[in-house]
Homo-oligomer: A and B are copies of this chain.
C-alpha cells in the first residue's frame, strides 16, 4: 500500500519497544512511508515484566499488539519479522527472505542478557527480557514449591526453597521483594508439608550497594526495606560460577534450585552486523543527535544506543523514559528534514530529561528519587504505582492493571499463578514422603 508510493521517503524502524514505538508515533502524519519491524507482535511494558515472572500479572496485562497500538496511524506498516543484518553501504535492511531499502533507519532493537562470556550460565540462571523468559521463570518458581512439597530430604528441600537473584539493580530488587512476599503471604496457606514462609530469598550484588544508579540514601533504604521483609542481601559478592542447583561465590557454595539472572545486559546482536566499533556492553556509540557517525541517515535509540547527554555529558541510562525521549527526538529530526526536503546542516543534540528514578520493593514499599527529592516506603510506592499505571499503553490496560493490583495488594493473591507449557512436572527425586506415610499398605 503506502510502500508502493515511491515518492515518499521510506523510514524503517527496527524494534517495537519504547524507543521504536515512540519514533513511529512521533512521525504520525509525516509525509513518509514507515515500516516498523519486530520479532514479536507485541510491545512489552518491560518495567513490569518481573510481575509476570512472579505471577502477579498475566502477559497480556503488560503486552499490547504493536499493530493495535499503531492501527490508526495510516503512514506506518507493521511487520513481524526478524532482521538478519543492516547493510549500511547500500542502505538496506536484510530480512530472512528479502532486503528492504531505506532513506532513514532507526535502530531500536534493545538489549539482551549479558553473561560476560560464560556460555553455560544462561542455562542455570535464566534472565528476564521477554514474555517467554518471564513465563519460564514463573514456571520454575511455582514448580520449586511443588517439588519441595514432595521432597523428604531436609537439605534438598531447603535448596528447593532457596531463590537466588543475581544483580542488585531495579529488576533484581523488584524480583527479590516480590518473591519473598509471595512466599511469606500469598501461598503460605496452600501447602501442607512445607512452610513457605521459611523460603529463603537471597539477593546477590557484586558491587558495594543496591540500585547503583540511585542516590546512596535510596540504596540504603532499599536494602533496609528488603531486609525487614526477610530478604538476605549480600553486597560485594561476585558470583564465580553456576552449577546445577548451586551458586559458587568464591569459597562458598550456595545450594539453590532457583537462580535468576538480573546482573548484566548488552546490546542486541544486530548491532554487530553494522561493522562499527561497539562499546564493551555491545551498544552503538552515537553522535549527540543520536545518529551513527558517518551515517546521518541512521539513528540508534533506546537501550541499543550508547548516548551521552549533551548538557550533562553523562551517559544516558538504559531506562524506559530515556528510550521514549530518544525515540521522540529521532522522530523530530526526521520529520523536520522530510518537511524541509533536505538534511539539516546542524541537528539538535539529544538532551535527557531525568524525571527521577524509582524502584518498587513490595507491597507499599519502594524508593524514589526525583530531582533531589527522595521518598521511601508507602509514599514512594504510591508514586511508583501512579507513574507506572499511567505509562501503561492503552486506557483499558491502565484500568485493569490498576484494579488487578489493588486486589492483589489487598488480598495477597497473585492472579496468574498457573504453570503452563511443556516444563516437566515434578521430575525431582523419588517421592518417598507420601509413600512413607502410606502406613496401611
Contact = CB atoms under 8 A, between A and B. Distances in A.
Interface stretch (A63-71, A208-216, A221-229, A290-298): A63-71
Interface stretch (A90-98, A111-119, A247-255, A380-388): A90-98
Interface string A180-219: 0000000101111100000000000000000000000000
Nearest to A68: B190
B434 A79 contact: yes
Contacts of A80: 143, 146, 419, 425-426
Contact of A420 (B4, B39, B59): B59
A353 interface: no
Contacts of A419: 40-42, 80
Interface in A115-173: 131-132, 135, 142-143, 146, 149-150
B99 A59 contact: no
A431 interface: yes
Given A440-B6, A440-B101, A431 B95 contact: yes
B146 A41 contact: yes
Contacts of A42: 418-419
A400 interface: yes
Interface residues of A, number: 79
Contact of A418 (B60, B79, B437): B60
Given A68-B190, A135-B420, A396-B413, A441 B101 contact: yes
A399 B403 CA distance: 10
Interface in A48-65: 58-61, 63-65
Most buried by B among A67, A131, A432: A67
Nearest to A425: B80
B425 A81 contact: yes
Interface string A404-425: 1001000101011111111001
Given A10-B438, A97-B431, A396-B407, 9 more contacts: A3-B434, A3-B437, A6-B439, A41-B417, A65-B417, A79-B146, A79-B150, A80-B425, A132-B422
Q: Ordered nearest first, which 5 A-B pairs have the shortest CB separation?
A: A67-B190, A60-B416, A58-B58, A98-B435, A97-B430
